[in-house]
Amino acid sequence: MFQGASAINLDVKGRMTIPTRHRDALAVQCEGRVTLTRHPHGCLLFFPRPIWESHREQIAAWPMSARAWQRIFLGNACDVELDSAGRILIAPELRSAVGLQRDVMLLGMGSHFEIWDATKLAESESEAVAAGMPDVLSNFSF
The whole-angstrom separation of Cα 91 and Cα 49 is: 17
pLDDT mean over 119-137: 93
pLDDT in tens, 22-49: 999 999 999 999 999 999 999 999 999 9
What confidence category does residue 138 fall into, taking pLDDT thresholds of 50, 70 and 90?
confident
The whole-angstrom separation of Cα 82 and Cα 119 is: 25
Domain limits, the chain: 2-128
pLDDT in tens, 74-122: 999 999 999 999 999 999 999 999 999 999 999 999 999 999 999 999 9
**CATH number, domain 2-128:** 3.40.1550.20
Whether the Cβ atoms of residue 112 and residue 55 lie closer than 8 Å to each other? no
pLDDT exceeds cutoff 90 at 139: no
pLDDT in tens, 64-76: 999 999 999 999 9
CB under 8 Å to 71, separation ≥6 — which residues? none
Residue 48: exposure state from Cβ atoms within 10 A (0-12, 13-18, ≥19): buried
Least confidently predicted of 58-62, 80-84, 114-118, 136-140: 136-140
pLDDT exceeds cutoff 90 at 140: no
Name the percent of the chain in helix, strand, coil, to the closest 5: 40, 30, 30
